[in-house]
Structures are given as C-alpha cells and as structure tokens.
Structure 1
Amino acid sequence: MGVSGCGKSHVGQQLAACLGAQFIDGDDYHGEANVAKMARGIPLDDDDRHGWLARLAELIEAARRDGRSLVLACSSLKRRYRDQLRGGDPALGFVFLEGTRELLLERLEARTDHFFKGADMLDNQLATLEVPGDDEGRIHTLDISATPQALVESVCQQIVDAPER
C-alpha cells in the first residue's frame, strides 16, 4: 500500500514471487470511469473507490477461502479503505511503502505508460493518506529509498518469520 509511484506493483510482484503467492495489481480492477477520471488529472473520491475496493475485498476473500496466498498492490490510503479490504480476510497484513514527495514525484514523472501522473494528483494522495496506526494489526512500513530487492527481502523475511503468516 501507499501513494502512486511508491513501487507497489514492482515490489508486490517480487514479493509474490518470494512467497510463492499470486499477485494482483489493484489498478487492473479500476473501472473505465475511474481510469478516465484519473487520466484527466481528477482525483478519485470515496464514492469512486467504494466499488473498486469491494471488488478487491472479494478477491481477497476468494483467495482466503481457497487457501491461496495473495499479494495485492492497492493504494489503501485511508484506514476505512484498509478496513474494507480486511472484510475479505480479517488477518490481512499490509506493507506500507513510504517515501518523500520528491522521490515519489520523480518516479511519477518518469512514467510513460500509466494513467496516474502529475504533482497535483500526488499531492491529493499525500493529503488523503492516513498513515497506518499501530492498532491496525500487521503493518510493515518500508522506506522506498532502499532498492526494491532490499525491500522485498526485508518484508519477505518478516512475513516468513511471523508466527501468524
């Protein structure tokens, strides 16, 4: 989880490979209206995100029910969004990829093939972000200034070592 440009998809794919889990990119489940809105530089609101998060929670629930391990890349900016996702699996853990605005903007500006771009959109996400609290269960916070490989190794080891994987 984290704002756009933090590396959710890249790190998530590598983490899924490390854990032998299925990877799902939440961006692939945005409806056409959401993608078009973001491509025009208009931030999504809670109403835009509700159906999208409900679909992702269904995917999480299906994986839990089927006994499949799953890594999902999803912004999960607000606690209530994370709570909605936990509706699919109450034991759901989160990896929070945290970075400076400058590094995030640099990454966004380097993108050539993604619908989410621009300082205004990033600033909106940073303003919307509710940093996960200690009372939210399993949260692994990582600084994105480290290499993706180092991030994956760190969180993979934490997850493997956790008693309630």
Structure 2
Amino acid sequence: MIMADWRIRPASAGDVEAVAELRAVVLRADLERLGRYDEQRVRQRLRDGFAPAHTWVIEVDGAFAGCVALRPAEDAHWLEHFYLASHLQGSGIGTAVLRRLLEQCDREGTLVRLNVLQGSSARRLYERHGFTLEREDPVDVFMVREPTSTVREE
C-alpha cells in the first residue's frame, strides 16, 4: 500500500472542535467496552485540556485527519491526544508521525510518557516504538519510553 500524502502543522484554537469530534469517534468503542463512554464528557475533556501550543494537526491530502500533542512536564514529555481518522488507521501514517516526534525527543534526551485505554489496539503501536508498562489501573495503561540515545546535540 502506498502511504497517503501527509503533513503535520501547528494546531490553532480553531482546531479544537474538529479534534474533539475525532476523539469522540475514535475512542468510542474502547470507552463503551470499559463502560466509560459519555457523549458530552468525551468531547469536553478534550476541550478542557486542548493546548494548541503543544499540539499538531495531521493533514492527509490537505484535509484534517488527526492530531497529536507533546506536552512538556517536569521529568518527561507527555504524548497526548494522538488520534487518527479511523479510515487511515493501519496505513502507516500514525507510525510515521510517532517516529518523527520520538526522533525529536531522542535528540533532546527526553523521556516520553503516555497513557492508553485498557485493551486499546494503540498499545501495540507504542510497544513497537519502545514504550514499556509503567503502571495500570482498571481504565488506563501508563507507559514510558527512555530516549534511545544519551548523546545530546549541542
């Protein structure tokens, strides 16, 4: 399969509703399985935590297709709000976006953390990229990835 033409661009405040809607669609099956789906709450949680300064929009063939955030914290960056339109999942775009972000974190020597819903198929993607289990609860799996190189570029 030939991967579609994709790019990432910095998010703006105007992207919040498209991202909130995509989140509701792509998380629905996992949230329903966990008994946690709420039509309003799934969107509001994204709106409440949306930080355009740390978020990128994924565009495929010029159209909105997803997003990802990399939020700096005290001891790590948090990979958050990584959503890709369902019809593009498995196309290699998510892998390419994740690889680009992790290469940047490796250059900076930055630890990366994330959480994924229990039973989510996304966990396999993260494990393939070096994330390991840190802790888990009945809803979330918390994962961490050490930078692959301790040599920082000056």
TM-score normalised by L of structure 2: 0.33
Name the one with the larger strand percent: 2
Q: Which has the higher contact order (CA 8 A, sep 6+)?
A: 1
Name the one with the larger helix percent: 1
